[in-house]
Amino acid sequence: MLLTPARKLGKQFVNPVPTSAGGFSVMIKVAPRFIFKGAAQSPKFPLGPFRTDPKIFASRPRSGLRITWMGHSTSLIEIDGIRLLIDPVWEERAGPVKWAGPKRFFAPPIALKDLPAIDAVLISHDHYDHLGADTIRSLVTLPQLHNARWITSLGVETILQGLGVEPARCTALNWTEDVTIGSVTITALPARHFSGRGLFNRFETLWASFALIGPHHRAYYGADSGEWDGFTEIGKQFGPFDLSMLEIGASDPLWPDVHMGPDGAVRSFRALGGHGMLMPIHWGLFDLAFHTWTQPIERVLAARDLSIWSPTPGIPSVVVAGEEIRSDWWRQEQI
């Protein structure tokens, strides 16, 4: 059995299978590559603007499942009557300070104040490209989130509470634990990754993927993960999924265990059972690796016998069985 609660060695959580997350030796190899990075890692011209029409949220999705992808791993998911905001990052940069770190390729499609009522905010882990501190501070002040639950992985609740989230509204899950919001059960599941918002606290909070199971739809949010055999078990126990959201960007041969990349996403989708559609995430917004910024989506779209659901950022898009979306918004700078 691979789907078991996370365990600790001392203060650090342990991955579900042996995993190398890179250390000082990798940093030494990476430094020169960062210094001499090519321009193709970022768009040559400004992207967008992308705009979300808030009036669309006044009506429920006709299929019962609708996703508004904000870029990278941030999405607003409407599933079987509830709204989940996943890994919200509205910051200009994904980093600990406002003046440094990877800068976003395009502005957020919607202002935080224009979001609809949210039932729950889901935070997969504490990395800066998944947990924006200023975003959290703003969200807790919004009336449309006054009744929202905050769901996260073990240890991350301390960060959220430090940013203003009320402890009584915060639920921290270990792998295999779940919480029910409305008619949807959210189960935290293992992922092959790591955590830490500094150099000296890696692995001290937990990271997770999540199964979203409603009475009519099933979705899987893979968050950040390398490939591993647990995907087969996840698919068997929690699938078949209508949509599997898997990361495709920020991969490199130096860290294959913790980021699966586009080819790994295709394999992982098939390991999950290959049902429904693959939604590529974790790409198109931040420069976090050395591949060209369009390489992940190009490779996924080139895969054979694969149903892809890849919408334009900011456009509320209804998920309908068998109806692919292959938006070419990312070609905009080439037009």
Domains of the chain: 39-334 (3.60.15.10)
Three-class SS of residue 185? strand
Cβ 154 vs Cβ 7: under 8 Å: no
CA nearest to 48, candidates 334, 335, 330: 330
Q: Tell me phi and psi for residue 294, to 5 degrees.
A: -95, -5
Average pLDDT over residues 48-62: 97
Q: How far is CA 242 from the centre of its chain?
A: 17
309 pairs with which residues across the strands? Answer: 325
Q: What is the DSSP letter of 101?
A: S
Report how far apart, in Å, the C-alpha atoms of 149 and of each of 74, 112, 317 are.
17, 17, 24
pLDDT at 157: 98
Indicate the range of 105-109, 198-202, 270-274 predicted with least confidence.
198-202
Return d(Cα 252, Cα 132) in angstroms, integer.
24
First vs last C-alpha separation in the chain: 50
pLDDT at 134: 98
pLDDT at 27: 62
Tokens encoding 177: 């634990």
pLDDT tens per residue across span 241-277: 999 999 999 999 999 999 999 999 999 999 999 999 9
Task: Indicate whether 36 pLDDT > 90.
Answer: no
Cβ 260 vs Cβ 220: under 8 Å: no
Return d(Cα 304, Cα 208) in angstroms, integer.
29
pLDDT above 90 covers a percentage of the chain that reads 90
Task: Indicate whether 207 pLDDT > 70.
Answer: yes
Return d(Cα 239, Cα 219) in angstroms, integer.
8
Report the interhelical angle of 230-238 vs 261-271 (nearest 10°).
40
Within 10 Å of residue 229's Cβ, how many Cβ atoms?
11
Residue 318 identity: V
CA nearest to 110, candidates 165, 71, 63, 58: 71
Average pLDDT over residues 103-110: 97
pLDDT at 335: 46
Q: What is the DSSP string of 220-257?
A: EE--S----THHHHHHHHH---SEEEEE-SS--TTSTT
pLDDT at 60: 94
Residue 160 identity: L
Return d(Cα 193, Cα 260) in angstroms, integer.
10
Residue with tokens 């790591």: 194
Mean pLDDT, the chain, whole residue set = 94
Q: 198 or 165, which is more confident? A: 165
pLDDT tens per residue across span 120-177: 999 999 999 999 999 999 999 999 999 999 999 999 999 999 999 999 999 999 999 9
Three-class SS of residue 173? strand
Return d(Cα 84, Cα 243) in angstroms, integer.
15
